[in-house]
Amino acid sequence: MTKQRLAICIDNTDYEVSLIPHKIYQIIPDEQAAQDDLIRIIDESGEDYLYHSSHFVLVGLPVEVERALVAA
């Protein structure tokens, strides 16, 4: 099974409604966006949107923890 990817928001400037600092967000893989230094995040709206990667730090957690966080 493919491991989920997660990121912690470190800067919500200009996205105060969509992103909460220090919250863990699920990443949707998007290779084309990554070429432009963007990542696709499921934000507070419950939808996925592109954000500049500088707003996040990627985190690696044990698979069991990532599954639990994504399922919550």
Enter the DSSP assignment of 35.
H
Record the pTM. 0.83
> Topology of 5-71 in CATH?
SH3 type barrels. (2.30.30)
Return the residue matching tokens 């919250």. Answer: 23
Pick from 6, 10, 22: which is nearest to 54 by CA?
Answer: 10
Q: Which residues pair with 24 in a beta bridge?
A: 8
Average pLDDT over residues 46-61: 94
Per residue in 2-12, pLDDT tens?
455 899 999 99
Average pLDDT over residues 26-54: 95
70 has pLDDT over 90: no
**The pLDDT of residue 5:** 86
- Confirm if 32 and 43 have CB atoms less than 8 A apart: no
Exposed, middle or buried by CB within 10 Å (0-12, 13-18, 19+), for 25?
buried
